[in-house]
Structures are given as structure tokens and as C-alpha cells.
Amino acid sequence: GNKSQDSGIAEMEELPVPHNIKISNITCDSFKISWDMDSKSKDRITHYFIDLNKKENKNSNKFKHKDVPTKLVAKAVPLPMTVRGHWFLSPRTEYTVAVQTASKQVDGDYVVSEWSEIIEFCTADYSKVHLTQLLEKAEVIAGRMLKMSVFYRNQHKEYFDYIREHHGNAMQPSVKDNSGSHGSPISGKLEGIFFSCNTEFNTGKPPQDSPYGRYRYEIAAEKLFNPNTNLYFGDFYCMYTAYHYVILVIAPVGSPGDEFCKQRLPQLNIKDNKFLTCDEEDGVMVYHHAQDVILEVIYTDPVDLSLGTVAEITGHQLMSLSTANAKKDPSCKTCNISVGR
């Protein structure tokens, strides 16, 4: 027919069309695919053609000859077949997939079946294995540890007024935004309250500038971080800048946040890690934070304002430092790992 003349790919109805496609064992950068097909002419199949697209491109033209190098041509192996490494699959991304069976001819051309139906699926978040790779990269640049004594949270005055009037004085956990690594399992899922703990090198105190509002809530470190809490590594990223961010999660032992993190995030030893430590010296709790990364700490339970103080800061509101829904730089060799971005 015209197709074989135009493209060098012939089409014959004898080859079975894949149907009832199943996607399984989905990770952030791989999946298994299987399907059913009629036994008629099954023994003639030498290859499978697989067309994978991000969901927004699902209406693109299907598999013309010029597109062959960009599609997967796989030898006809037993199903299910694992698809890995042929594309840079991104985590937490919706894809469409369609399949043809094909028979390679002596002249190098292919006889192909009709395309199967189009199936949609979504890749997974980073696993603990991937997060451990990120953790190891973050440890390399964390720098020496500096003493700290408080966690702090900057907001506008209206935020604290609202907490007092509508939430009985207790700051409530909210769902984390989509800033940071695209595959982070906490984005859009973990509920918590963001705190900072970095100090200025020369004063040992929190900086006076903030991107998040002119009012600051300060709370003694031991009120949030102590032997009754667990500490988890959540993410490591940058936003096309020279400085890097590390997200840590503090969760009271046995709390819903603790159970969420235990299944998904690498746990850190609170006394011995490269980012944030809590240890007892002469009967007093002593705290340290990493000097060379900006720590974003998520506390997973409500926090009553009466446990700390609210005061206006004297510095500037530097909006350029905001990380709200910030996109990670996918080209940075310091904070990316070798799976989909």
C-alpha cells in the first residue's frame, strides 16, 4: 500500500495487534509492559515497536519512518518486557504508550501490525534508593557544623493573626508544595510546617533578612527536635544558583508524619549526621547545623505559638530567596542523580 511506498514500512493485517496492554512494576525511570495478542501469525513476529510520549504529546503523529530512531525498536522477547534506559523517563510524569508487532524482512524493512490502543500511566516518585543517592551527594557539600539554638518561621503579620483567631493559636501543617526535585515523594503529599535554622556565621543568630514576611516566630530548638522525634532526609536541590538547599523532616515518634516518612525517606541519626544534630552535653541539649547548605526543616505536627515568640525582623524581605514552587536546575551536577529529572 501507500505506506510501504512512502516509508519503507509495509502493513499487513496478518500480524496480530497487541491488546489488553498492562503496565506494571512502575518506578521513577522504568516500567514493565505486557499485552495479549492473537496466536495467528505470532511466530512471524521478530520485533516490537513501542511509542512512548509524555501525555501532553499524545496526539502527535504515530511512528513515521523518519521517527524510527526516536522510538523503541525491541527484539521480540518474552513478556512482560522491562523498559529502562531507552528514554530519560522523568519521575511523577504522565505518559502514553502504544505498541505494534513487527516482522523484519530480508531487505531490512519491516512488516508491521496496526497500532494498539493508547494506554496512559504515571511514573513513580524517587524510591529510598534514589533519595539515598541524593543524600550522599548532599553530604559531600554540607560543610562544617555550626551551633544553633532556635528554629524560626517567617510570615506576614496577617498569617499570625489568622492562626490566633481561627486555629486556637496553633500553626497547622499544610501540604508541601512542588519545589525541589521533581521525583521527591514528599511534594504534594507530606503535611508539615516549614522552619529554618540557619545562622549567620559572624553572629551565630538567625539572619535578619527573609523572603517570607517581616514577622518571625522563634522557638527553642529542643521544643521541636529532641530524642522523642525522628529525623529524615527529604531532598537536595538548587535553583540555578550557587547555593544548595537540603530539606529535612522532623516527626514526633509514632505520629502520622513519622509513619509517612518511615516508608519513603532515609532516616538520619539525630546525634550523628551531616546536616542537623541534637546531642546532650553536661545535661544540656546542644544543636548544630551544616554551614554550607540552606536547611529547610518540615515539622509534621501542629505547633502552638505560645511555645515561642513572634517579633518583627529589622532586615529586608528578599523575595529572590523564596523557594515556593521553585524548579530544580536539572543540569546541576552537584545535586542531580542519574535517573529521570
| % of the chain exceeding 90 in pLDDT | 52
**Residue 80 DSSP class:** S
Q: Quote the domain boundaries for residue 199.
A: 128-321
- Residue 116 sits in the same domain as residue 237: no
Q: Residue 330's pLDDT band (boundaries 50, 70, 90)?
A: confident
Average pLDDT for 329-335: 86
Q: Over 70: is that where the pLDDT of 250 sits?
A: yes
Q: Residue 312's pLDDT band (boundaries 50, 70, 90)?
A: confident
Q: How far apart are the first and last CA of the chain?
A: 42
How far apart CA 314 and CA 214 sit, in angstroms, is: 8
Of 126, 138, 319, 109, nearest to 238 by C-alpha is 138
DSSP element (H, E) containing 257: helix 256-264
Q: Residue 23's pLDDT band (boundaries 50, 70, 90)?
A: very high
- Residue 69 sits in the same domain as residue 175: no
pLDDT digits 0-9 by tens, 121-135: 999 999 999 999 999
**Cα–Cα distance list, 112 to 4, 15, 49, 65, 102 (Å):** 10, 7, 9, 12, 4
User: Which of 97, 123, 149 is the endpoint of a domain?
Assistant: 123
User: Can you read off the three cell numbers belonging to residue 85?
Assistant: 534506559
- Residue 256 sits in the same domain as residue 237: yes
β-strand partners of 311: 216
Q: Residue 63's pLDDT band (boundaries 50, 70, 90)?
A: very low
Q: Over 90: is that where the pLDDT of 151 sits?
A: yes
- Residue 208, pLDDT score: 75
**Cα–Cα distance list, 80 to 28, 31, 130 (Å):** 18, 10, 24
DSSP element (H, E) containing 159: helix 157-166
β-strand partners of 75: 47
User: Which of 123, 154, 185 is the endpoint of a domain?
Assistant: 123
DSSP secondary structure of 177-222: -S-B-TT-TTTTT-EEEEEE----TTTSS--S-BSS-SEEEEEEHH
- The one-letter amino acid at 175: V
DSSP, collapsed to helix, strand or coil, labels residue 305 as helix
Average pLDDT for 18-31: 92
CA torsion, points 172, 272, 183, 128, in degrees to nearest 10?
A: -110
- Residue 319, pLDDT score: 54
61 within a domain of the structure (yes/no): yes
Q: Residue 245's pLDDT band (boundaries 50, 70, 90)?
A: very high
Of 87, 102, 83, nearest to 42 by C-alpha is 102
- Residue 328, pLDDT score: 85
- Residue 138 sits in the same domain as residue 117: no
Q: Residue 108's pLDDT band (boundaries 50, 70, 90)?
A: confident
- Residue 89 sits in the same domain as residue 119: yes
In this structure, of 159-173, 185-199, 311-325, the range with the lowest mean pLDDT score is 311-325
Residue 123 CA to chain centroid, in angstroms?
Answer: 11
Please report where in the chains the cell 527484539 appears, as a residue: 75
pTM of the shown model: 0.82
Average pLDDT for 157-168: 93
**Per the structure, how many domains does the chain have?**
2
Of 260, 166, 164, 267, nearest to 215 by C-alpha is 164
336 within a domain of the structure (yes/no): no
Half-sphere exposure of 214 (CA within 13 A, CB side): 6
pLDDT mean across residues, the chain? 85
How far apart CA 173 and CA 178 sit, in angstroms, is: 16
How far apart CA 90 and CA 57 sit, in angstroms, is: 15
Phi/psi region, residue 259 (left: phi>0; alpha: psi -120 to 50; beta: rest), is alpha
217 within a domain of the structure (yes/no): yes
Q: Residue 317's pLDDT band (boundaries 50, 70, 90)?
A: low
Average pLDDT for 271-292: 93
- Residue 155 sits in the same domain as residue 295: yes
103 within a domain of the structure (yes/no): yes
- Residue 145 sits in the same domain as residue 285: yes
